Amino acid sequence: MVSSNDFKNGMTILYEGNLYKIMEFMHVKPGKGAAFVRTKLRNLRSGAIVDITFQNAERVTLADIVKFKSQYLYDTGDALCFMDMETYEQTEIPYNLVSEERKFLRENQVIEIEKYNDEIIGIILPDKVTLQVVECEPAIKGDTKSGGAMKDAKLETGLVVKVPLFIENGEEIIISTIDGKYSSRA
């Protein structure tokens, strides 16, 4: 059990029979009345995002999540195939569990898979990943109206990001998996 006062982003809880990951939380102390905790939670089974308010110091069950390292092997067309780095056992994870994370996955990349009991609930990516630019417009000389001029670049995974004008086709760049933005050259 964990108190609502001890919530942290990324924590996984069981609430009303559902498994939720805390995306955001805010402690609110109004002028009148008792304090409470306003949260934004993602249902790990359905992917739905819900807003739930907890009373101050309300106790909820902390989910026992097991994490293990796996290597991304390939895309089957409706699922992603991973290999456990210790047992070499292969696991397929359906698209609906990794819809956002798919955009940042490259073959042979090592990630962590999260399990609750024997149910796979998702994957954890590193904060930054290296991906190759496969399509972007060439920079045109004198095309800088402001110091931070950017252009669209399509990456090997299909993700489209804004990059500086000096980035060209074939270059590897570092992308933040947190906000999906360009970070630097690799």
| Same domain flag for 6 and 57 | yes
DSSP 8-class letter at 86: T
Cut 0.85: pTM above it: no
Residue that is last in its domain, among 18, 43, 62? 62
Tell me: do 58 and 96 sit in the same domain: no
Last residue of a domain, one of 73, 103, 124: 124
Q: Are residues 117 and 133 in the same domain?
A: no
Task: State the CATH number of the domain containing residue 157.
Answer: 2.40.50.140
- Same-domain check for residues 136 and 119: no
**Within this chain, do residues 89 and 116 fall inside the same structural domain, yes or no?**
yes
pLDDT of 176 higher than 80: yes
pLDDT digits (tens, 9 = 90+) for 36-84: 999 999 888 877 889 999 998 899 999 998 999 999 999 998 899 999 9
Find the CATH number of the domain harbouring 15: 2.30.30.30
Indicate if 6 and 55 belong to the same structural domain: yes
Higher confidence at residue 130 or residue 186?
A: 130
Residue 151 and residue 176 in one domain: yes
43 and 85 both lie in a single domain: no
Q: Is the pLDDT reported for residue 128 higher than 60?
A: yes
Tally: H helices and E strands in the chain: 0, 16
With beta carbons less than 8 A apart as the criterion, state whether 82 and 114 touch: no
Is 80 exceeded by the pLDDT of residue 139? no
pLDDT recorded at residue 27: 92
- Same domain, yes or no: 118 and 151: no
Asked whether residue 13 carries a pLDDT value surpassing 60, the answer given is yes
The last residue of a domain, from among 77, 96, 124: 124
Domain, as residue range, for 72: 65-124
Pair 114, 162 in one domain = no
Check residue 143 and give its pLDDT.
58
Residues 10 and 51 grouped into a single domain: yes
CA–CA dist 38, 55 (Å, integer): 9
Q: How many domains does the chain have?
A: 3
Instruction: Tell me, yes or no, whether 85 and 116 share the same domain.
Output: yes
More confidently predicted of 145 and 58: 58
Distance of CA 159 to the CA centre of its chain: 14
Residue range 124-147: average pLDDT? 80
Q: How far is CA 141 from its chain centroid?
A: 37
Non-local (6+) Cβ contacts of 34 within 8 A are 55, 56
pLDDT in tens, 94-121: 888 888 889 999 999 999 999 998 888 8
